[in-house]
């Protein structure tokens, strides 16, 4: 099967490049808008159709998105274009050739209603900002297309690549005598390598037939940003930094973030037999790899 990956230079896209080397049956093409990759404008339906036809593409894994949550509030129509219109186009292109779209969504589709149990796939989306709303619109356009699709909502993504919370906290706890981190937002970190492996297993194993729908994937377990930071500092050996818990309102933001965004992974495990590692185990791997790079 010929597979096209968008957003190849992002965190998940880079991890997909690594796991794709394990494939025995599939051929991968990686696209992005930056140098070093085949160019693909996912906001142009005709261009998508052309690339799909030329490469005989039967599956698209969409890792591209507008992901800056705060800037989404003032960035204008581009956020809806990238997070909703473009995924709709990718789904349409796959529908036309009988292919599969794997699309990455987010826990930010939730957050408007109070709840304290892990979010299930059928739970109503109540986004609190532009980012979450546009990602929800993207899901809806994909579902309305009639294309064979696997939508995977994830949360708190980090990796050895790009800018992310783990790399930022490793740097700050190494250089700051004291740090305040919010303790009243709870969720589960997700190592992008684990998510890439889950996607690879579903596609490579052809497990997606007759299973179109929305699925949740994050690592196992529950933590707060404060506890997450404490563990990052411990693993990195940055024990001199005094890390203190604080409330979210001490860091004013244009977006109200979900206070509780733990995702229920029962569906993806039961449907695809997906292995979901514990968050601390995966964090150890990532921090060890980052320390080696220093």
User: What are the residue numbers of the active site?
Assistant: 131
Distance CA 11, CA 193 (A): 9
**Are 148 and 96 within 8 A, CB to CB?**
no
What distance lies between CA 112 and its chain's CA centroid?
20
What tokens were used for 131? 């980012």
- Name which of 66, 120, 121, 126 is nearest 259 in CA terms: 126
Question: Is residue 77 packed enough to be buried (19+ CB in 10 Å), middle (13-18) or exposed (0-12)?
Answer: exposed
For 121, counting Cβ atoms within 10 Å of its Cβ (0-12 exposed, 13-18 middle, 19+ buried), the class is: middle
């Amino acid at each position: 099967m010929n597979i096209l990956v968008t957003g190849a230079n992002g965190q998940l896209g880079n991890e997909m490049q690594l796991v794709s080397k394990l494939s025995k049956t599939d051929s991968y093409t990686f696209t992005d808008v930056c140098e070093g990759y085949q160019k693909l404008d996912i906001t142009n339906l005709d261009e998508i159709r052309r690339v799909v036809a030329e490469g005989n593409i039967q599956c698209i894994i969409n890792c591209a998105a507008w992901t800056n949550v705060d800037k989404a509030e003032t960035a204008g129509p581009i956020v809806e274009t990238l997070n909703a219109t473009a995924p709709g186009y990718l789904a349409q292109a796959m529908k036309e050739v009988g292919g599969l779209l794997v699309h990455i969504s987010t826990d930010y589709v939730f957050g408007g209603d109070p709840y304290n149990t892990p979010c299930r796939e059928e739970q109503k989306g109540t986004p609190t900002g532009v980012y979450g709303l546009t990602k929800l619109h993207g899901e809806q356009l994909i579902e309305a297309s009639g294309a064979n699709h696997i939508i995977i909502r994830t949360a708190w993504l980090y990796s050895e690549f790009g800018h992310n919370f783990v790399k930022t906290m490793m740097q700050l706890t190494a250089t700051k005598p004291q740090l305040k981190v919010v303790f009243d937002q709870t969720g589960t970190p997700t190592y992008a390598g684990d998510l890439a492996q889950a996607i690879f297993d579903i596609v490579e194993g052809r497990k997606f037939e007759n299973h179109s729908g929305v699925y949740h994937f994050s690592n196992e377990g529950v933590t707060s940003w404060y506890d997450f930071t404490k563990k990052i500092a411990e693993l990195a050996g940055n024990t001199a930094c005094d890390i203190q818990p604080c409330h979210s309102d001490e860091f004013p933001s244009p977006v109200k973030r979900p206070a509780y965004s733990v995702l229920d992974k029962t569906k993806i495990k039961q449907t695809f037999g997906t292995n979901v590692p514990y968050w601390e185990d995966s964090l150890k791997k990532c921090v060890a790899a980052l320390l080696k790079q220093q």
